[in-house]
Chain A
Amino acid sequence: MLVKKKKLRLGVFKYSCCAGCEFELIYFQKYIRETFDNVDIIYFRMAKSGGSEEGPFDLVLIDGAITEAWQVDQLKRVRQVARFLLPIGSCAVNGGIPAIKNHTSELDMEKRVYQDITHVHSIKTHPVDDYVQVDGYIKGCPMGRKDLYEAFTSLLLGKRPSFVNYSVCVECKIKGNTCVLISYGWPCMGPVTNGGCGALCPSYNRACYACWGPMEDANAPALARQFEKMGLAPDDIFRRFTQYGSTKPEFRRGAELYGSTTQPF
């Protein structure tokens, strides 16, 4: 009734990442038929030959972190022709795994991998919102299906999407999990990490390693100090807060108490 049969013009752009979020999108399993019924793929290189970068797009999904200058140029052009733009997955949302390198000098990093570094043109890893305004975040590693579903249905219904915006702890409580931080003394990142995974790691008998990145306004320094009280070595605490999302101030404030973080700029 409310749904108008107007197809969404979709663009998907990949930057520096594993493309796992794009895969998540093309599986999308049981929703795949409904999705493709309501979407026109204008640009999505992994799924389709050809297509136009010029748009215009109703929805652009950005997969991957920014690590080269040409990506910034394209991203800014795409933003201008996109009604809504959402980063998908941790790399695009918070730098993700590729941002681990930010705490070492770029030149050292290049020399560790290549003998001839003249053809390497990398810059520090940035999340998408360092360069353009975004209309929300689909977090996760790979991105969460719940938020992806929310994004598509909201656009089709013309409503404001409501993304998961609470910590992993909430999901442990809902599931009735034993707290692995308090009961077992494991260095769980759940209190500062955005939920949406359904408290996956604690449900699988291990500490959360923050793959969905920081929850907004999380108090990382408090958790970092708690880890210290529990007997974690400073370098281990530093690693906990730099594996994911250390481009974001929330986690950086936890990491910098126990090691030297490089500013992304």
Chain B
Amino acid sequence: MDRQPNPFNSKTISIDYLARTEGESGLMVKIAEGGDVQEIKLKIFEPPRFFEGFLVGRKYSEAGDIVSRICGICPISHLTTSLQAVEDAMGIMPSPQTRRLRRLMCVSQVVASHIIHLYMFVLPDYFGYPGFAEMMPEFKKETDYLLAMKEAVNNVAEKIGGRPLNPVSMVVNGFTKLPDRETMLSLAEGIRAVLPMAYETAMMMSRLPYPDLETEGEFAALRKEASGEEERGEYAFNEGRLVSSGGLNLDIHDYFAAFCEQEQGYAQAKKSFLKTGNTYMSGALARVNLKFDQLHDETKKLAQEIGFSRPDRNPFHNNLAQALEIYDGMLESIRLLSEIDPKKEVPSVDIRAGEGVAITEAPRGLLMHRYVIDRRGVIEEANLITPTSQNFANIERDLHLLAARYGQSDDHEALRLKCEQLIRAYDPCFSCSVH
């Protein structure tokens, strides 16, 4: 190791395989003498699996089960998005009960994903450990919290879906089996029991020493306004319009009018941009910034207590936003579990040819599926745009800002850690990004 203490010397940070993220990527940062950032490349080398290629020729009814295997942390997001895109293509409007149960499944997955991400991927960086397993002997209370919260929210997906990863009850236009009222109420009790831990988690996250940085990209999220007698619209996950901090307000079918993607020679993932050329950030921070008014009142109070004020442009604070969403998601799960009284419905499908688009909020950001389906229900075209490929350009842009800001003051190891922390703050999923 030839570490040079001279701050004006050039620096190269080269990571061949980034740890504690989902999937495979490396990083190259080059800073010249004097501090000019010469190169930033997030080298996503996750091998392509060609989902968009082999979905062609498959039946609409298989699509959900197939795409849930794109991602091991957010299978429910891919599954839901796929079902909604198929329904959009066939002109099917699922029942209010189906839509609410899907919302419950998605909320439970967002919470579960955030819990794992914060405890197992983020905390070790801030406490100086290689991984959470090494932290466990010293952090007994945190381990208890992680396991108890994870089990309570996983139970929701397991009881309703059959298993927490790749659930089987969710199909086009409904659920093959519905939980009974007692199960729903006992799941709500389970979550109520761990709610104080979510509060403590947010308190703990607020005490971490986040580096300072201001992202320059826009925030983008799905937002649903209040309808009818509702006081405020729900904090959108599966339904709504695309909005951005730059003033975008679009029907989801117009996604391609405002967004585009480009291939990168050095990465297997494609990179999305706004057509204006701007980059954007989606995910927890974007959602909390753009939909703060739609959070539960208790969550707003918690936000105040942990000193979160919006708009918060620090990408490292995505972790704070995730902590708020864990708390809010638990409140929302309790509400849905207490309110929904499942009534028997049989999912029926009238197969029709058509083109369908769906956009949902996966734990780490916007997820788009578009299919063209023929009259026998066979998929002719498939296009999937995942959260991490949407955040890709903004992550690199933030890395650039970070390297410019800390490139001279930090030594090699400190800068390397900051770069890794920044990438992890986005909670990227490289398996999703390539798919």
Give CA–CA (A33, B166) in the complex, Å. Answer: 25
Give CA–CA (A109, B57) in the complex, Å. Answer: 12
Give CA–CA (A211, B75) in the complex, Å. Answer: 14
The answer to whether B54 and A41 touch across the interface, beta carbons within 8 angstroms, is no
Contact stretch, chosen from A93-101, A128-136, A152-160, A214-222: A93-101
Q: Describe A's contact surface by its main secondary structure.
A: mixed
Provided the pairs A47-B132, A122-B48, A243-B62 are in contact, do residues A204 and B177 lie with their beta carbons within 8 angstroms? yes
Contact of B19 among A30, A48, A98, A201 (CB under 8 A): A48
Give CA–CA (A118, B268) in the complex, Å. Answer: 11
Is residue A14 within 8 Å, beta carbon to beta carbon, of the partner chain? yes
A124 to chain B minimum Cβ distance, whole angstroms, is: 11
Is residue B23 within 8 Å, beta carbon to beta carbon, of the partner chain? yes
Which residues from chain B sit less than 8 Å from chain A, CB to CB? 17-24, 47-50, 52-54, 56-59, 62, 65-66, 69-73, 75, 116, 120, 124, 130-134, 136, 143, 147, 150-151, 154, 162-163, 165-166, 168-169, 171, 176-177, 263, 265-266, 268, 378, 431
Contact of A142 among B17, B52, B165 (CB under 8 A): B165
For A, the interface residue count at a CB cutoff of 8 angstroms equals 63
Task: Report A-chain residues with C-beta under 8 Å of the C-beta of B57.
Answer: 104
The answer to whether A200 and B163 touch across the interface, beta carbons within 8 angstroms, is yes
For B124, the closest partner residue in chain A by CB is A49
The answer to whether B19 and A49 touch across the interface, beta carbons within 8 angstroms, is yes
Is residue A21 within 8 Å, beta carbon to beta carbon, of the partner chain? yes
Task: Report B-chain residues with C-beta under 8 Å of the C-beta of A197.
Answer: 163
- What are the interface flags for A39-79 relative to B under an 8 Å C-beta threshold, 1 for contact and 0 otherwise? 00100111111110000000000000001100100000000
Which residues from chain A sit less than 8 Å from chain B, CB to CB? 14-24, 26-27, 29-30, 32-33, 36, 41, 44-51, 67-68, 71, 96-98, 100-101, 104, 108-110, 112-116, 118-120, 122, 141-142, 197, 200-201, 203-206, 209, 211, 235-236, 239, 243
The answer to whether B265 and A141 touch across the interface, beta carbons within 8 angstroms, is no
The answer to whether B20 and A49 touch across the interface, beta carbons within 8 angstroms, is yes
Provided the pairs A19-B72, A20-B72, A239-B58 are in contact, do residues A120 and B48 lie with their beta carbons within 8 angstroms? yes
The answer to whether A47 and B120 touch across the interface, beta carbons within 8 angstroms, is yes
B311 to chain A minimum Cβ distance, whole angstroms, is: 32
Task: Report B-chain residues with C-beta under 8 Å of the C-beta of A142.
Answer: 72, 165-166
The answer to whether A113 and B165 touch across the interface, beta carbons within 8 angstroms, is no
The answer to whether B48 and A113 touch across the interface, beta carbons within 8 angstroms, is yes
The answer to whether B131 and A114 touch across the interface, beta carbons within 8 angstroms, is no
Contact of A29 among B19, B151, B265 (CB under 8 A): B151
Give CA–CA (A67, B53) in the complex, Å. Answer: 15
Give CA–CA (A46, B133) in the complex, Å. Answer: 12
The answer to whether B66 and A15 touch across the interface, beta carbons within 8 angstroms, is no
Provided the pairs A20-B165, A206-B176 are in contact, do residues A101 and B54 lie with their beta carbons within 8 angstroms? yes
The answer to whether B169 and A204 touch across the interface, beta carbons within 8 angstroms, is yes
Give CA–CA (A15, B23) in the complex, Å. Answer: 9
For B417, the closest partner residue in chain A by CB is A49
Give CA–CA (A226, B10) in the complex, Å. Answer: 69
The answer to whether A48 and B134 touch across the interface, beta carbons within 8 angstroms, is yes
Task: Report A-chain residues with C-beta under 8 Å of the C-beta of B24.
Answer: 14, 45
Provided the pairs A20-B75, A116-B263, A243-B62 are in contact, do residues A33 and B165 lie with their beta carbons within 8 angstroms? no
Other CB < 8 Å A-B pairs besides A18-B69, A18-B75, A110-B50, 5 of them? A19-B73, A20-B69, A46-B19, A113-B52, A205-B176
The answer to whether A112 and B52 touch across the interface, beta carbons within 8 angstroms, is yes
Of residues B163, B177, B266, which shows the largest number of chain A Cβ atoms within 10 Å of its Cβ? B163
The answer to whether A23 and B72 touch across the interface, beta carbons within 8 angstroms, is yes
Give CA–CA (A209, B75) in the complex, Å. Answer: 17
Task: Report B-chain residues with C-beta under 8 Å of the C-beta of A49.
Answer: 19-20, 124, 130-131
For B136, the closest partner residue in chain A by CB is A36
The answer to whether B431 and A19 touch across the interface, beta carbons within 8 angstroms, is yes
The answer to whether B168 and A201 touch across the interface, beta carbons within 8 angstroms, is yes
The answer to whether B177 and A243 touch across the interface, beta carbons within 8 angstroms, is no
The answer to whether A100 and B133 touch across the interface, beta carbons within 8 angstroms, is no
Task: Report A-chain residues with C-beta under 8 Å of the C-beta of B71.
Answer: 18-20
Task: Report B-chain residues with C-beta under 8 Å of the C-beta of A141.
Answer: 69, 166
B229 to chain A minimum Cβ distance, whole angstroms, is: 36
Give CA–CA (A50, B133) in the complex, Å. Answer: 13
